[in-house]
Amino acid sequence: MKQLKKPKKIPLYVIAALLLGLKTYIVYRFVFNVELDNSMQELILFINPFVSAFLILALGVWFKKSSRQMKYIRYAMLAMTLIVWANLVFYRQFTDFITIPQLFMGSNMTDLGSSILTLIEPWDLFIFADVAIVWYVSKKFEGNLSVLYPRSGKVGVLAFSLVLLAGNFFLAEMERPQLFTRGFDREYLVKNIGLLNYHVYDVIIHSKNESQRVFADGNEIPEIQDFIQENVDHERSEEMNGVAEGKNVIFINAESLQHFAMDSEVNGEEVTPFLDDLAQDEDTYYFDNFYEQTGQGNTSDSEFLVENSMYPLSRGAVFFTHGGNDYHSFPEMIEDKGYTSTVLHSNNKSFWNREQMYNSMNIDEFKGEESYDVSPENSVGWGLKDKPYFEQSIPLLEEQEEPFYTKMITLTNHFPFELDEEDATIDKFDSNSNTLNNYIPTVRYMDESIEQFFDDLKDSGMYEDSVIVIMGDHIGISENHNNAMAQFLDKDEITPYDQVQLQRVPLFIHIPGDGNGEQIDKISGQIDLKPTMLNMLGIESDEDIYFGNDLFSDDRKDYIALRNGDFITDDYVSTAGACYDRETGEPMDQVIEEETNSEEEASEKSEEVQNTCEAVQDQVDTELSYSDALIYGDLFRFIDFGEEEE
């Protein structure tokens, strides 16, 4: 056996920890767009990559054989670099970090194929440079770089790394109290405890959530029902009660359609001319302050919100993580009224685990890719183009028994927004973001495809008997493109307030022949659709468990909660721990300073605003946690809503 020599130079685990720490710091600082508000945060961000790297690599000293020690350091370094890189690629698309449930969305990851390739960049190779160096020197200078400490030395190194870790956690907890108990903001976790520790935390939370179902027994339900009765339950609109009774409901989930695209122009051309006109139509109720409330599950989360009036989860896609749960969904509730429910979406059925979840939500039929004639000629990007999709959907709608509730999900306006030249009828935008540039022609293409669909519906005779809802599912342009977005919106920068406002998506409720359509400005969100549609269909929903309100009622909750805990009220937008004036976007501190005459008055006013915002925040947090508890505990299995089981 080769004998380990006493160290002559700095041991490899130290060199490797320094290299890995430095690299990770550079990635944090310059690639991940983490916001740093003060020097303490800068310090923590600087320290944590070294702490994690040291913690893992210093375990190498426990290997007695020098070749094993070197091997451990090489592979540990590679593994940690792969974790950083995987997060980086993921971040480019989602401006977020990977969670464990997402790793189990394997089938989605393969479908993401073409998108993932566009997210990998040649210079990513540099990330592996230090791994290559360590690999090389560990083989070449194995004897000089390995160490053999006595047992006390090994324990000393371990103790030292744990002290470093404790120091890091202490600073983190000081900077962000309750970080570990509340920790729903992944960016906060990563910047305070580092990517690696964040993943460990994620695994622990995941196991904890899993155990919740096993131990749930339904005891929690009365408390949740009381909360809903007291805080969520409000009067429905009498005027709109039953307006859609017996009619078909065609619900178009418009991929990545954001509010900013409406009424906008590129080179003097309207981007969405049909939808802009539709918003003004006398048969359309158009909601102008309507927010998407999705989390990591994107389209599927928007579907979940609409069908259940519950929040999706803060981590993972609920379609995947809880696709087998019991739900009390919209399709289930309309069944007794003789409605059949279907989804038409030209994608494979396993994407987002739709097939299982649709079953759990009582959707009668899912017509996927195999129901369409898809060829290379009529496809682009993610699959069948929207125009042939809508065209081929007409006969599928016609063969359905009426009345039906059918959800249609478009596909062409999806990142990375690919479009064939012959389909582009408007110039791309001109900025440093290809994503935003390409978005313009694809969103126009979707606008035209919906126009064509309206014409076809009229020709088919189904139009008059239907109510058509069109909703943007979630944002298409992430914060990574904020410079370009600021240019598009003609602003100096995108503030945290603007970021929240960019989460608005258009909502149209189009009732042919209604004649009373109008633009409705009240704050609203995807959570509101189920109670709204139930009321329109004249269906009683008093016993239901839900978190939204009828959009047509004036008696509503006074806030809209976003999945990350941010919220919007009539007066304020709350994000990143601060309240902003909803109309002007100015931070409330600033507004108060400008509007008050004395310090005393300012501090009084400031306390008042703070109290209001904190009270709403508490309400929002409770509501989100009850919605989560229902899902994690699979609590609907304990409730009998008195409807006939299938």
Q: Could you list the active site residues?
A: 299
Smaller CB distance to ligand GP9: residue 383 or 517? Answer: 383
Smaller CB distance to ligand GP9: residue 475 or 624? Answer: 475
Minimal distance, residue 357 CB to Mn ion, in Å: 15
Residues linked to residue 341 through DSSP beta bridges, in sequence order: 405
Minimal distance, residue 254 CB to Mn ion, in Å: 9
Smaller CB distance to ligand GP9: residue 11 or 295? Answer: 295
Minimal distance, residue 409 CB to Mn ion, in Å: 8
Smaller CB distance to ligand GP9: residue 255 or 364? Answer: 255
Smaller CB distance to ligand GP9: residue 341 or 347? Answer: 347
The crossing angle, in degrees rounded to 10, of helices 482-489 and 434-460 is 60
Minimal distance, residue 253 CB to Mn ion, in Å: 7
Residue 294: which of ligand GP9, Mn ion, none does it interact with, CB under 5 to 8 A by kind? none
Minimal distance, residue 251 CB to ligand GP9, in Å: 14
Q: Give DSSP secondary structure letters for 133-198.
A: HHHHHHHHSHHHH-----HHHHHHHHHHHHHHHHHHHHHHHHHSTTHHHH---HHHHHHHHHHHHH
Are 246 and 471 contacting, i.e. CB atoms less than 8 angstroms apart? no
Smaller CB distance to Mn ion: residue 142 or 473? Answer: 473
Residue 406: which of ligand GP9, Mn ion, none does it interact with, CB under 5 to 8 A by kind? none
Q: Give DSSP secondary structure letters for 580-624.
A: EETTT--BHHHHHHHH-SSHHHHHHHHHHHHHHHHHHHHHHHHHH
Smaller CB distance to Mn ion: residue 176 or 354? Answer: 354
Number of neighbouring beta carbons within 10 Å of residue 205: 17
Smaller CB distance to ligand GP9: residue 28 or 351? Answer: 351
Q: What angle do CA 312, 316, 320 make, to 5 degrees?
A: 85
Which of 467, 418, 468 minimizes the C-alpha distance to 445?
A: 418
Residue 409: which of Mn ion, ligand GP9, none does it interact with, CB under 5 to 8 A by kind? ligand GP9
Tell me the CA end-to-end span of the chain in Å, nearest whole number. 70
Q: 87: Cβ–Cβ under 8 A, 6 or more apart, which residues?
A: 32, 97, 98, 195
Residues linked to residue 265 through DSSP beta bridges, in sequence order: 270
Minimal distance, residue 564 CB to Mn ion, in Å: 18
CA distance 189 to 183: 6
Which of 320, 344, 339, 314 minimizes the C-alpha distance to 329?
A: 339
Minimal distance, residue 301 CB to ligand GP9, in Å: 8
Minimal distance, residue 279 CB to ligand GP9, in Å: 23
Minimal distance, residue 198 CB to ligand GP9, in Å: 23
Strand order in the sheet with 559-561: 559-561, 567-569, 572-575, 578-581
H or E stretch including 520?
strand 519-520
Smaller CB distance to ligand GP9: residue 474 or 510? Answer: 474
Query: What 3-state class would DSSP assign to 276?
Result: helix
Residue 435: which of ligand GP9, Mn ion, none does it interact with, CB under 5 to 8 A by kind? none
Residue least distant from ligand GP9 (Cβ): 298
Number of neighbouring beta carbons within 10 Å of residue 256: 24
Does the CA dihedral 134-138-141-143 come out positive or negative? positive
Which of 215, 172, 213, 235 minimizes the C-alpha distance to 41?
A: 172
> How is residue 645 written in tokens?
């089981």
> How is residue 620 written in tokens?
């929002």
Residue with tokens 């030292």: 160
Smaller CB distance to Mn ion: residue 15 or 470? Answer: 470
* Chain residues that interact with ligand GP9, rule: CB under 6 A: 255, 298-300, 347, 351, 409, 414
Residue with tokens 């229902």: 630
Helix, strand, coil content of the chain in percent (nearest 5): 55, 10, 35
Torsion on CA atoms 453, 456, 458, 464, rounded to nearest 10: -60
Minimal distance, residue 310 CB to ligand GP9, in Å: 18
What 8-state DSSP symbol labels residue 247? -
Which of 483, 55, 444, 456 minimizes the C-alpha distance to 266?
A: 444
Residue 636: which of Mn ion, ligand GP9, none does it interact with, CB under 5 to 8 A by kind? none
Residue 216: which of ligand GP9, Mn ion, none does it interact with, CB under 5 to 8 A by kind? none
Radius of gyration of the chain (CA): 27
Minimal distance, residue 162 CB to ligand GP9, in Å: 41
Residues linked to residue 578 through DSSP beta bridges, in sequence order: 575
Residue least distant from Mn ion (Cβ): 299
Residue 105: which of ligand GP9, Mn ion, none does it interact with, CB under 5 to 8 A by kind? none
Burial of 8: CB neighbours in 10 Å, binned 0-12, 13-18, 19+: exposed
Residue 353: which of ligand GP9, Mn ion, none does it interact with, CB under 5 to 8 A by kind? none
Residue 142: which of ligand GP9, Mn ion, none does it interact with, CB under 5 to 8 A by kind? none
Q: 366: Cβ–Cβ under 8 A, 6 or more apart, which residues?
A: 342, 343, 345, 349, 354, 355, 358
Three-state SS for 55-78 is HHHHHHHHCCCHHHHHHHHHHHHH
Residue 547: which of Mn ion, ligand GP9, none does it interact with, CB under 5 to 8 A by kind? none
Which of 538, 526, 252 minimizes the C-alpha distance to 405?
A: 252
Q: Strand pairing of 559-561 and 567-569?
A: antiparallel
Smaller CB distance to ligand GP9: residue 472 or 496? Answer: 472
For 111, 155, 188, 380, the CA distances from 114, given in Å and listed in that order, are 8, 48, 30, 11
Residue 347: which of ligand GP9, Mn ion, none does it interact with, CB under 5 to 8 A by kind? ligand GP9
* Chain residues that interact with Mn ion, rule: CB under 5 A: 255, 298-299, 473
> How is residue 345 written in tokens?
């979406």
